[in-house]
């Protein structure tokens, strides 16, 4: 086995690649590709993993820096017609001093102090938190149903589903076939949400990213597994 992928809490997927050219363990951190570790043939995966664990703080700082540089935070002023997957956002000036949120079937209303500049960073920060809350609501409405659809269609099984506000990965499957999905899937197109779910469900059968895994995922995505994986690189959990 020349490659293996290990999920590290707070970092996401770390891919280890055996390399005949590598003279030492080298860690490369990419915003889209994630963490890739080149491992010399003479070094065991276990030793390489220990090295990576000793560098976790540096990896986390580097990922944070990369994401901060590329993060595009929009200003929500109610003029651009922002909506989540299922609801339209309304920003409403209000006489109360505290901001509050109301969610209904087709919209969500954010009330903010009338005498406050809506572009104020504190106000914008709260708006973003409210948006994330709406995404969480929608994720719990939508993702379990999607999981059930694909498991029924392909007779796949998983132990449990947890939805988290995580930005380090879109989804992951544990050794016990428990699956975690990021609520930020909710700002992806439907076909990419399906891809992520199928990707994790395939990990209930194959725990690595070897040929058998991609063959199974190809089977469930009409031969488009690699194409969809490439399309995922154009999206970030940190951009909305």
CATH code of 208's domain: 3.30.2010.10
Are 128 and 149 found together in one domain?
Answer: no
pLDDT digits 0-9 by tens, 34-73: 799 999 999 999 998 999 999 888 988 888 777 665 455 6
pLDDT of residue 34: 79
Are 144 and 225 found together in one domain?
Answer: yes
Are 66 and 109 found together in one domain?
Answer: no
Does residue 77 belong to any structural domain of this protein?
A: no
Are 157 and 105 found together in one domain?
Answer: no
Are 224 and 148 found together in one domain?
Answer: yes
When pLDDT is averaged across residues 102-130 and rounded to a whole number, the result is 94
Does residue 239 belong to any structural domain of this protein?
A: no
CA gyration radius, the chain: 20
Does residue 10 belong to any structural domain of this protein?
A: yes
Does residue 124 belong to any structural domain of this protein?
A: yes
pLDDT at 21 over 90: no
Are 114 and 39 found together in one domain?
Answer: no
Are 152 and 99 found together in one domain?
Answer: no
Does residue 59 belong to any structural domain of this protein?
A: yes
pLDDT of residue 12: 78
When pLDDT is averaged across residues 208-222 and rounded to a whole number, the result is 94
Angle of helix 121-154 versus helix 190-202 axis, rounded to 10: 60
Q: Which residue segment(s) compose the domain that 34 sits in?
A: 3-70
Count the domains in the chain. 3
């Amino acid at each position: 086995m020349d490659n293996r992928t290990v999920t590290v809490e707070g970092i996401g997927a770390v891919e280890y690649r055996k390399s005949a050219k590598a003279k030492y363990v080298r860690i490369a951190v990419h915003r889209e590709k994630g963490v890739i570790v080149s491992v010399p043939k003479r070094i065991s995966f276990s030793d390489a993993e220990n090295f990576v664990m000793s560098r976790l703080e540096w990896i986390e700082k580097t990922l944070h820096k990369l994401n901060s540089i590329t993060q595009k935070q929009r200003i929500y002023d109610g003029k651009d017609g922002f909506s989540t997957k299922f609801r339209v956002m309304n920003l409403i000036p209000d006489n109360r001093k505290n901001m509050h949120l109301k969610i209904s079937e087709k919209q969500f209303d954010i009330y903010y102090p009338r005498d406050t500049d809506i572009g104020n960073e504190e106000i914008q920060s709260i708006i973003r938190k409210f948006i994330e809350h709406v995404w969480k609501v929608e994720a719990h409405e939508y993702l379990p149903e999607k999981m059930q659809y694909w498991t029924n269609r392909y007779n796949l099984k998983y132990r449990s589903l947890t939805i988290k506000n995580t930005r380090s990965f879109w989804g992951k499957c544990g050794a016990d076939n428990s699956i975690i999905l990021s609520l930020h899937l909710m700002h992806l197109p439907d076909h990419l949400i399906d891809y992520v779910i199928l990707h994790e469900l395939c990990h209930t059968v194959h725990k690595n990213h070897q040929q058998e895994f991609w063959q199974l995922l190809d089977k469930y995505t009409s031969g488009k597994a690699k194409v969809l994986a490439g399309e995922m690189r154009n999206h970030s959990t940190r951009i909305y």
